[in-house]
């Protein structure tokens, strides 16, 4: 089989997501597997690393036997052997770089959120469409094994009519004083593009849209529970961004979704994100890896009686949904779909239009929280 190289500019590759999930677990993993088989031969990703620090880029390149890296984005985008621009920079730096990539005629794949505002996201979508370029936005949660199994249950008609979805996402992010924080400090500063609403609502938008129906309205209450944190240099700073959001969504088709997102919650759950779905015929609880179900026929009949200790082993009455297939890393799976989309025009709908809807929902949730009211999502 012939091997075809495809140049990919990776910007923000020194960051958490850019390095671990996109370079190592996706593109280098595809190379380790011998490349990506396509209709016209094997596709071989050739990363061109871009960032602000020569030393860090050289170190990463050296560690993985890569030779192409630069601090000059313009020069990387001018390379004729590059077809794709990928962005995993801090959110605030994204829009400018994507505009530059579109001007250079490159297809664009990016981390979420696509931009800081829906207006900017729409402009990027329009510019890319006008230039005839292919676009993609990371929607990794759709590829989590637990949620793939949940989708399978929905497709198989397990639930009957879906009534409600309860999502619980979060964990304790250390303040940074006596233990280092496990997330970057920009996440907690509004001026630097931080905040859990802009971080997580784009995820919830595509998830709800693909699994249950588009979001018709949002009501959100948000908080900055921890107002002082300590940064990477050990300096205290004012945490100005929202670190928890409690949102209710009305969905097309009539189901109601409630999703709590918080970096100030201690985990008493089986997974860092879990969704309970209740339908007329059955219910499921899905997380990153697991998915458990209870059918109508197996539903116990609890009776409220605070005078007696509970005798019903509720958790034991749920059954584990089998994998029935192998689940690859979700970031890698989506990269493969995007590469096929570029190389052989394979189907792909996680594009800038979809990314724009995610940014718009986050924006409307922020507005809902500010104004203390439920807001309809324009259709
Ligand atoms: N899909 C997901 O599940 C997921 C999870 C976390 C983060 N993200 C997204 O990925 C992006 C990066 O997040 P992260 O957690 O990897 O952040 P990070 O802080 O670890 O990395 C950010 C990257 O941007 C670069 N950078 C920092 N400041 C910059 C500036 N002013 N100009 C240009 N580049 C700058 C850094 O050098 C680094 O390479 C964000 O947009 C975030 O929303 C997605």
The structure tokens listed for 170 are 């979060």
pLDDT tens across the length of the chain (379 residues):
799 999 999 999 999 999 999 999 999 999 999 999 999 899 999 999 999 999 999 999 999 999 999 999 999 999 999 999 999 999 999 999 999 999 999 999 999 999 999 999 999 999 999 999 999 999 999 999 999 999 999 999 999 999 999 999 999 999 999 999 999 999 999 999 999 999 999 999 999 999 999 999 999 999 999 999 999 999 999 999 999 999 999 999 999 999 999 999 999 999 999 999 999 999 999 999 999 999 999 999 999 999 999 988 999 999 999 999 999 999 999 999 999 999 999 899 999 999 999 999 999 999 999 999 999 999 8
Q: Residue 184 Cα, ligand 1 centroid: separation in angstroms?
A: 8
Question: E-strand spans in 224-310?
Answer: 228-230, 236-238, 244-251, 256-262, 273-279, 282-287, 291-295
**Ligand 1 binding site (Cβ under 6 Å of any ligand atom):** 12, 14-18, 51-52, 88-91, 93, 111-112, 138, 140, 184, 199
Residue ranges of alpha helices (H) inside 9-115 are: 16, 29-32, 54-63, 73-77, 94-103
- Residues with Cβ < 8 Å from 325, sequence gap 6 or more? none
Q: Residue 229 Cα, ligand 1 centroid: separation in angstroms?
A: 19
Instruction: Identify which of 9, 10, 11, 12 to mutate to test ligand 1's pocket (most ligand atoms within 8 A of the CB).
Output: 12
Please, what sign has the CA dihedral across residues 357, 218, 223, 245? negative
Closest CA to 6 of 48, 39, 69: 48
* Peptide bond before residue 113 is cis, with ω within 30 degrees of 0: yes
Report the atom number in ligand 1 closest to the C-alpha of 140.
1
Contact 317, 300 (CB under 8 A): yes
Contact 276, 305 (CB under 8 A): no
């Amino acid at each position: 089989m012939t091997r075809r190289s495809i140049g990919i500019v990776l910007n923000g590759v020194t960051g958490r997501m850019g390095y671990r999930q996109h370079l190592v677990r996706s593109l280098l993993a595809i190379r380790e597997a011998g490349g990506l088989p396509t209709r016209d031969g094997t596709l071989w990703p050739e990363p061109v690393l871009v960032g602000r620090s020569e030393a860090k880029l050289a170190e990463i390149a050296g560690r993985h036997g890569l030779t192409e890296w630069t601090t000059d984005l313009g020069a990387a985008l001018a390379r004729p052997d590059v077809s794709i621009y990928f962005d995993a920079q801090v959110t605030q730096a994204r829009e400018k770089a994507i505009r530059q990539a579109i001007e250079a005629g490159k297809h664009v794949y990016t981390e979420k959120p696509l931009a800081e505002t829906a207006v900017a996201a729409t402009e990027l979508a329009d510019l890319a469409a006008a230039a005839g370029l292919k676009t993609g936005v990371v929607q990794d949660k759709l590829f989590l094994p637990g949620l793939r199994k949940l989708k399978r249950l929905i497709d198989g008609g397990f639930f009957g009519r879906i009534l409600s979805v309860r999502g619980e996402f979060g964990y304790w992010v250390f303040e940074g004083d006596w233990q280092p924080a496990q997330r970057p400090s920009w996440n907690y500063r509004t001026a630097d593009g931080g905040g859990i609403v802009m971080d997580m609502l784009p995820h919830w938008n595509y998830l709800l849209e693909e699994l249950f129906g588009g979001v018709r309205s949002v009501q959100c209450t948000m908080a900055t529970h921890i107002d002082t944190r300590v940064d990477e240099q050990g300096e205290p700073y004012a945490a100005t961004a929202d670190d928890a959001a409690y949102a209710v969504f009305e969905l097309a088709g009539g189901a109601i979704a409630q999703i709590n997102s918080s970096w100030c919650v201690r985990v008493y759950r089986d997974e860092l994100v879990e969704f309970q779905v209740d339908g007329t015929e059955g219910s499921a609880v899905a997380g990153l890896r697991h998915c458990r179900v209870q059918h109508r026929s197996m539903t116990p009949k609890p009776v409220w009686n605070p005078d007696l200790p509970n005798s019903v082993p509720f958790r034991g009455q749920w059954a584990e949904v089998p994998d029935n297939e192998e689940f690859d890393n979700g970031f890698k799976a989506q990269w493969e779909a995007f590469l096929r989309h570029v190389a052989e025009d394979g189907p792909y709908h996680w594009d800038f239009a979809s990314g724009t809807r995610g940014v718009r929902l986050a924006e409307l949730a922020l507005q809902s929280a500010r104004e203390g009211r439920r807001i309809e999502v324009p259709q």
